[in-house]
A and B are shown apart, each in its own frame.
Chain A
């Protein structure tokens, strides 16, 4: 092997080893890197009451209730388990039933969270509004875009 290919080899091996090291660190600190827990993950973790937590999932259909002008109750679900959330404040524009959402809050009692911040999550699908109207007109609109 000529000197230059030895150098190339050395650089690539160093790169791969460094990448492996960084990825090992990142995957082992998974719990700190993920932005939110899903309801199922939260239930498995058995968190303590009073702990700060962030959970994400879909807002369960028919679960959003408006209590007063700016306080709401709803459930966050990952289609297996659901967590009950109540919130005082203004909801983001995209927030609606069936839509993804992330909730910042404190665990009040098991399976119940008092939210301090709510973020709406949008998925990777983009579609003109006119197409949705057409689909709704023909009763073809199904929420299978998630």
Chain B
């Protein structure tokens, strides 16, 4: 049933079926998200600048989600010798890097009008910048070795070590004084975002996730073909 998660052939079969419907679904959700943003209200303090949130938060979420998935796959790939995990690492690292960059740039553009600065070295901003560098190193390792078996193991080990950064990013705003705000949405309390702003945020998060998923599927398929050729 869940064989497509570790078996390249089953993965190819399933994604051949769902790729097209997924594409249309994503287009619809993205359009709904954009319409909701257009009709979303201005914030009581930030005015219309608050709309940067609808790009900033989804890309931050995807930057962390991509790395979490890579971590899980790396652990299982190393422990249980599942080569599909290595394929995932090579395929999705650039996607995570791009979303991290989008997060950093949109955050910087948001910080200038609201905080009064493009960048400060507070714990949250610094840890996300480190995440971006970690992604870059993974991409560089990916292009730096001739032997695939050596390369993929080094990447997987590096991904697992780099995942120490994930809880630090998540809890940096709670553990230390930061200029960045604490989380607006958490499991323990009701969200401190008004429903009229939460709806477009959720729609955009879904849309971004699906866009990331489509690119990931295409890149994983490419990676499978490349590896079959090289063997």
Query: Could you tell me which A residues sit within 8 Å of B by CB distance?
Result: 4-5, 7-8, 11-12, 14-15, 18-19, 22-23, 26-27, 30, 33-38, 56, 91-95, 99, 102, 117-132, 145
Contacts and interface: CB of A to CB of B under 8 A. Distances in A.
A30 B172 CA distance: 11
Contacts of B183: 124
Contact of B44 (A5, A19, A127): A127
B27 interface: no
A94 B123 contact: no
Point out which of A7, A33, A38, A130 has the most chain B C-beta atoms below 10 A from its C-beta: A33
A15 B151 CA distance: 20
Nearest to B165: A22
A19 B117 contact: no
Nearest to A57: B177
A131 B75 contact: no
B134 to A, nearest CB: 13
Contacts of B122: 35
Contacts of A15: 75, 160-161, 163-164
Contact of B42 (A22, A27, A93, A128): A128
Given A122-B115, A130-B41, 20 more contacts: A5-B79, A11-B79, A18-B161, A19-B167, A33-B123, A35-B120, A35-B178, A37-B177, A38-B177, A91-B116, A94-B116, A120-B116, A121-B179, A124-B183, A124-B184, A126-B46, A126-B194, A128-B194, A129-B47, A131-B41
Interface of B: 41-47, 50, 53, 75-76, 78-81, 113-117, 120-123, 160-161, 163-164, 167-168, 175-179, 181-184, 192-194, 196-197
Contacts of B182: 123-124
Contacts of A130: 41
A127 B114 contact: no
Given A19-B167, A128-B194, A128-B197, A120 B176 contact: no
B51 to A, nearest CB: 11
7 contacts: A34-B177, A35-B177, A35-B178, A38-B177, A92-B115, A99-B45, A122-B115
A92 B192 contact: no
A11 B75 contact: yes
A119 B116 contact: yes
Contacts of A33: 123, 176
A8 B117 CA distance: 45
B46 A94 contact: yes
- Nearest 7 pairs between A and B by C-beta? A92-B116, A128-B41, A8-B79, A35-B122, A132-B44, A124-B184, A7-B79
